[in-house]
């Protein structure tokens, strides 16, 4: 038995493997791991051990791979295909990832089990899947790699905390803007208020050039501002 086989046996006892699993491990190539940015520059023995605990998952076009808000314990290495990344509060996707990319890593690093985005396959996708417990079982046998990934985890934690703080600061501003927009809309959707404001704005408009106090001539703009736009009679 080779050194790699010994290491694999210590991570995944053979009594828990089926013959089909052992066969698939022999015929499925995991060479894509070596060229993936997440594992760039690692010890070759670390790659050999890591290959033994990888799983293969395929996804069809439109299929959701991970869903924002769900809990997860795995990361994905995209061997073939393209995926789009989206956030629930944004209408358009924030990124498109191609072969050689990875996602879901904060679950494996132990930063957070909650998925921070939704990833959907744009076409047929071939992924390599690495689970949290398997990753750490391998990494603990390689102190240099383990320390490197721990530093990466700490960095991701700091970034996640900063992002949450930014979102918290934006909430009061959004509430103020939403309140202002609601007031503007509610004025024009209330028939009585709309009729009154239409009368007032028409009256002010008709007397713009008369000898009225200067303060009153500005009232039209103020009324229009509160109502969310110009009076309908003055749009043409």
Tell whether 195 and 157 lie within a shared domain. no
Judged by average pLDDT, the poorest of 5-14, 30-39, 117-126, 205-214 is 5-14
Residue at a domain's end among 141, 161, 181: 161
Tell whether the model's pLDDT for residue 5 goes beyond 50: no
For the chain, give the mean pLDDT.
76
* Tens-place pLDDT, residues 184-235: 555 556 676 667 667 666 766 666 555 555 544 445 555 555 555 544 444 4
Range of the domain at 194: 190-234
Residue range 159-180: average pLDDT? 69
Confidence of residue 11 (pLDDT cuts 50, 70, 90): very low
Residues 82 and 195 in one domain: no
**Which pLDDT belongs to residue 87?**
92
Q: Are residues 206 and 156 in the same domain?
A: no
DSSP string, the chain: --HHHHHHHHHS-GGG--HHHHHHHHHS--THHHH-GGGTT--HHHHHHHHTT-EEEEE-TT-EEE-TT-B--EEEEEEES-EEEE-TT-SS-SEEE-TT-EE-HHHHHTS-SB--SEEEESS-EEEEEEEHHHHHHHHTT-HHHHHHHHHHHHHHHHHHHHHHHHHHHHHHHHHHHHHHHHHHHHHHHSHHHHHHHHHHHHHHHHTTTSS--HHHHTHHHHHHHHHTS--GGG--
With respect to residue 173, please indicate whether it lies within any of the assigned structural domains. no
Q: Report the pLDDT averaged over residues 175-187.
A: 55
Q: How many domains does one find in the chain?
A: 2
**Pick from 140, 161, 182: which residue ends a domain?**
161
For residues 7 and 95, state if they share a domain: yes
CATH of the domain at 104: 2.60.120.10
Within a domain: 172: no
Structural domain includes residue 185: no
95-128 pLDDT, tens digit per residue, is 999 998 999 999 998 888 899 999 999 999 999 9
């Amino acid at each position: 038995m080779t050194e790699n086989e010994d290491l694999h046996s210590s991570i995944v006892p053979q009594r828990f493997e089926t013959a089909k699993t052992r066969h698939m491990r022999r015929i499925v190539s995991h060479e894509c791991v070596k060229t993936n940015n997440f594992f760039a520059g690692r010890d070759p023995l670390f790659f050999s051990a890591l290959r033994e605990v990888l799983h293969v998952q395929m996804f069809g076009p439109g299929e959701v791979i991970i869903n924002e808000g769900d809990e997860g314990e795995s990361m994905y290495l995209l061997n073939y295909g393209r995926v789009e990344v989206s956030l629930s509060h944004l209408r358009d996707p924030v990124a498109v990832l191609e072969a050689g990319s990875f996602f879901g890593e904060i679950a494996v690093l132990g930063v957070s089990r909650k998925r921070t985005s939704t990833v959907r396959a744009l076409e047929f996708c071939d992924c390599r899947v690495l689970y949290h417990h398997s990753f750490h079982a391998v990494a603990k046998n390689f102190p240099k790699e383990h320390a490197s990934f721990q530093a990466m985890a700490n960095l991701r934690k700091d970034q996640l905390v900063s992002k949450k703080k930014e979102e918290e600061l934006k909430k009061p501003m959004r509430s103020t803007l939403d309140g202002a927009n609601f007031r503007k809309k509610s004025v024009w959707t209330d028939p009585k208020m709309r009729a009154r404001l239409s009368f007032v704005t028409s009256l002010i408009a008709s007397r713009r050039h008369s000898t009225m106090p200067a303060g009153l001539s500005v009232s039209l703009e103020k009324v229009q501002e509160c109502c969310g736009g110009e009076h309908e009679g003055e749009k043409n």
